[in-house]
Structure 1
Amino acid sequence: MNKAITSPLAGHLLATEGANLVMAEWIAEGCAEGTEPMRIAPLHIHREDDEAWYVLEGTLGFQIGDQIVEASAGGAVMVPRGTAHTYWNPKAEPARYLLIMTTRINELIQAIHAASDRSAEGLRKLFEQYQSELVDW
């Protein structure tokens, strides 16, 4: 995670040593028509960290507190710390987006992917280690 410049970004993280900011480009697969979209992340809260998304292609849906919004290509969403949120791809076509996060959020994501205990209780404990709270799995 010592790269200050990367081209292309896809599949890589952009962050510098000692920085508190990480940018990643990700793709969210679409959902079949008539089916409920699958959340990319569970409903959760980061107590001390803000998080942002910029949609490059496609559409992402967000729940931010009690509000449901969609952001299409060129749209951006910012979630302030302390706000429950989740997101998903509501369309059939893939969505390509940038996720701008703190290093702590990136570490939480890496820990989730590496976790052997992915039960609701196991994930709740993991979120707590990163100053976050799992609201709904």
Structure 2
Amino acid sequence: MSTSFYEAVGGDEFFTALVEGFYAQVREDDLIGPMYPQDDWEGAEQRLKWFLAQYWGGPTTFNEKRGAPMLRRRHFPYEIGDAEARRWLSMMSNSLDQLEVSAAHRDALWDHMVRVAAMMINKE
């Protein structure tokens, strides 16, 4: 029986730490911090953790609670340009750097994050 990516990196513990590290930075960020729900930090963290865990082979909690991800549609109300995408990636990289994960798993996560950040850009 093969191990899922989710299990291989440490499951819920890994994704919780990744998202917590990311959001610790977002709360203080002047560029993308204001895009996040100031009255629902915990909910925003939970949703991102659900999404990442599900994408990488973990529980399907995101779909059960929120429906299909529709990432671009959900983020369309926010003006996301190259600067915002680069800042998001920088904070994700910082968070990822704090975790123990194999180079192959880190590369796979990073490649996905770079593609998602580029896909979210909706302004010049």
- Normalised by the length of structure 2, the TM-score is 0.26
RCO higher in structure (CA 8 A, sep ≥6): 2
| Structure with more strand by fraction | 1
